[in-house]
Structure 1
């Protein structure tokens, strides 16, 4: 049975509607798939950038923390250096005061003579030379002569050797030192410094650990005491 034109047109419209519906559904499916892939890619990119940002700020935070530690260490070192300098300055002031007080020793002639006696005899024993040259302050020549006359017999008896003493008549020790003597062998290659200043320096070096403990207390970081 042949179809009328109306029936043909109706079937064509029906087929077109079906094809259009299929196309719309396919387009929606493609759009949905594209949206899903877009969201997945967007999420991946966001997560990647987020991790990069977190890594960047973690690195910055570590750098800042390291800089703070370095700065703190530098400040501590500077503080330690200031403390050490203040301590050294205090010890230096004390030694300077002691040097100034040395000048008072020679003002008591009896005590100064006794001190020179000990320094002269000690110098003899340190040199153990047959010929000894003594330098002293010009104003101390008579004191030194007295010490020589006292100590030569003691030295000869002790070491059983003769000794010849000369006081240098030209090269006196400076007047502004506190006192004492310098001794040389005949060639002046061996020297014994027994001025009051040199004795003070020697005593200060020997007693420095004890001085520091008395002034500043025991060093907690020091493991050995000798």
Structure 2
């Protein structure tokens, strides 16, 4: 039985509908697969960038932390240097004040004459020379000569040796020296400085640890005390 035109048209439409349905399903399948691949790639890229960003900020954080540590260290060092400078200035002022007070020592003639005796005798013992020249302030010549006269017998009895001591009348100690004496051997190459200033300086050096403890307290970082 031959197909009519209507039957042919009907079959063609049915085939077209089937093809369209197949095509539509295929498109949906391709879209779904593309969407899945897109999401996978997107997730991979996002994760990669996320790791890069995290690494970047982690490095930045470490750099900032290191920078802060360096700044803190610098600030601590600057603070420590300022403290040390302030302490040194205080000690300098203290020694300056002590030097100014040395002038008071010579105002008591009895005490000063006894001090000169000690300074002269110590100078003789330190030199241990047969001939000694003593230099002093011009205003102290008489007291120094008296100290020399009293000490020569003491020295000679102690060392069992003769000694000649003269006071230099040509060159006196500078006027800004508070007091004391300088003792020289015969050729002047060996000197013992027993001025009040030199004794103060020596005493300050010897007592500096005690002075620092008195002014600033014990040093917590000091391991040995002797």
TM-score normalised per structure 1: 0.93
Residue equivalent to 2:191: 191
**Structure 1 residues 154-192: Cα deviation after superposition (integer angstroms, max 9, x where no partner):** 111111111122222222111111100111112222111
Residue equivalent to 1:216: 216
- Cα separation, 2, equivalents of 1:90 and 1:73: 26
| SS at 1:95 equivalent | helix
Deviates more, 1:142-151 or 1:63-72: 63-72
| SS at 1:110 equivalent | helix
- Cα separation, 2, equivalents of 1:188 and 1:8: 145
- Cα separation, 2, equivalents of 1:30 and 1:169: 122
Q: CA deviation at 1:8?
A: 3.4
- Cα separation, 2, equivalents of 1:161 and 1:190: 19
- Cα separation, 2, equivalents of 1:5 and 1:97: 133
- Cα separation, 2, equivalents of 1:191 and 1:22: 121
- Cα separation, 1, equivalents of 2:137 and 2:130: 23
- Cα separation, 2, equivalents of 1:63 and 1:166: 75
Residue equivalent to 1:149: 149
Q: CA deviation at 1:2?
A: 4.3
Residue equivalent to 2:66: 66
- Cα separation, 1, equivalents of 2:74 and 2:150: 61
TM-score normalised per structure 2: 0.93
Deviates more, 1:28-37 or 1:42-51: 42-51
Residue equivalent to 1:49: 49
- Cα separation, 1, equivalents of 2:67 and 2:170: 65
- Cα separation, 2, equivalents of 1:37 and 1:188: 104
- Cα separation, 2, equivalents of 1:182 and 1:18: 130
Q: What are the equivalent positions in structure 2 for 1:110-125 lying under 5 Å apart?
A: 110-125=110-125
- Cα separation, 1, equivalents of 2:185 and 2:9: 144
Q: Does 1:182 align with 2:182?
A: yes
- Cα separation, 1, equivalents of 2:188 and 2:39: 99
Q: CA deviation at 1:53?
A: 2.0
- Cα separation, 2, equivalents of 1:26 and 1:135: 122
- Cα separation, 2, equivalents of 1:127 and 1:36: 105
Q: CA deviation at 1:16?
A: 2.5
Deviates more, 1:6-15 or 1:202-211: 6-15
Q: Figure out how many residues of one structure are paired with residues of the other and give that number.
A: 226
Q: CA deviation at 1:93?
A: 1.3
| SS at 1:133 equivalent | strand
Q: Which 5+ residue runs of structure 1 have no aligned equivalent? A: none
- Cα separation, 1, equivalents of 2:187 and 2:110: 33
Residue equivalent to 2:23: 23
